[in-house]
Every structure is written in structure tokens, then in C-alpha cells.
Amino acid sequence: MTGPRRQNTPTTLRTFVALSLPTEIHQALKALQDRLKRHAVLRPAPTGVVRWVDPESIHLTLHFLGDILPERVEPIKTALTVVARNVQPFAFQTGTLGAFPNLNRPQVIWVGVQDPTSWLTLLHAAVNEALAGLGFQPEQRHFSPHLTLGRVQRNASRAELHAVGEAIAGTSVGALGSAAATDLIFFRSVLKPTGPEYTPLGTFKLGA
């Protein structure tokens, strides 16, 4: 007798929607990371407690979809095409330094994004609505656009968390530069030991 046939588990794709950044902003983010790493507690793990994001891969996330089945890719691309067509290219500014959830319990170190024209907020809302129409859970949190610089290790002690917060608070950061939003990008993320690897599944020109 043979046992029951083992069903193949469908391969899922870890995905998100984001805006890319120009080279000048990537360079400014790397320089800022290098400044922060001069603090002993902010050195890369294991000697410090922060896992820094590769500055070349930093992007502005608009919606994290999580793991999806491959057959959902095309409907998502169709929805994002419509969203991008109805939003004109715009500019946003980057600057300031902070941490989520706060400087007393820092878990994510970020650079803030300013949205003077409100087009970024409108684009986020349009993406959220389009994906909700495909059955994805709308994001409930208030949209707080940011660029993730690094993540604090979960096993960091209270003293280390306090030191991280003090280091961030004591680092003066002005405007890092302006970025032009021209393309909406649908990314696939593959988690690897060396860090996540991002591959565009679709690029959609704003206003096209």
C-alpha cells in the first residue's frame, strides 16, 4: 500500500509596493549611517546592536503585501497601472532622524520624509484603495513615510536601548535632499542570510 499523496505547497512571493530613490539620496543615507556607526552601540551587530540596511536598497515603502500566490501578480500589476496613470510625478524631501516606536524603546531607526505637496499621501491612499479592491487588508496605521536605516536587535538590553536612543537624539540631521517620484514599483523580496534581495515585478510610470 502506498500512503496518501503529498500535495505540493504553492510557492508564494513576498511583495511590497514602493518608490525608488535617486543615487544622491542613497549616498546621503550611507554617509548618515557611517556617522551613526561611530557610536559604539550603533556599530553593526554582533559588536553593536544594529542590523543596518544596505543603503543602495533603501526605498520608500507604500504598502507591504506580504506573501502572495503567483496568480495574484497580474491583477496587482493591472491595479497599480491604473493608480500610476492618475497620479502626476511629484517631489518629496528627506531629512530628520528618529526611531519606532520611540527613542525610549527604539526598534527601527529611520529618516523622515516630508510631503509638502500632499501627492505622496494621495498616492499612498490610492494604492491602499486599489489593493483593498483585490482583497488585501487596508493598512490601519497612520501613514508615516520614512526610510529605514537599520533595525535594533531584539535581544538588546535596556541599557543598550537607552544608549541607542541617546545616540539618535544626539545626532543632528538636516535636510538630506529632494527626490523626484516618477515610478511606482511592485517589488518581490527574497530573504537571504546576507540581507533581503529586491527584484521589480513591475514598474509603473506616474502620469503615463
Residue 65: pLDDT above 50?
Answer: yes
> What is the model's pLDDT at position 193?
82
> What is the model's pLDDT at position 142?
86
Mean pLDDT across the stretch 4-8?
45
| Side-chain-facing half-sphere of 200: CA atoms under 13 Å | 11
Q: Which CATH class is domain 13-205?
A: alpha beta
Domain boundaries, the chain: 13-205
Which CA distances in Å does 31 have to 27, 28, 178? 6, 5, 16
pTM (two decimals): 0.90
* Strand runs labelled E in 115-191: 146-152, 175-181, 183-190
> What is the model's pLDDT at position 4?
45
> What is the model's pLDDT at position 174?
86
Q: What is the pLDDT of residues 172-205, one digit of tens each?
A: 998 999 999 999 999 999 988 877 899 999 999 9
Q: What is the pLDDT of residues 46-61, one digit of tens each?
A: 888 999 999 999 999 9
Q: What is the pLDDT of residues 77-132, one digit of tens each?
A: 999 999 999 999 999 999 999 999 999 999 999 999 999 999 999 999 999 999 99
Which CA distances in Å does 47 have to 37, 44, 70, 99? 11, 6, 40, 20
Count CB neighbours of 140 within 10 A: 5
Helix axes 73-85, 119-132, angle to 10 degrees: 150
Q: Which of 124, 90, 96, 89 is nearest to 29 (CA)?
A: 96
How does residue 26 score in pLDDT terms, banded at 50, 70 and 90? very high
C-alpha cell, 106: 527604539
Q: What is the pLDDT of residues 129-160, one digit of tens each?
A: 999 999 998 877 889 999 999 999 999 999 99
> What is the model's pLDDT at position 192?
84
Residue 9: pLDDT above 70?
Answer: no
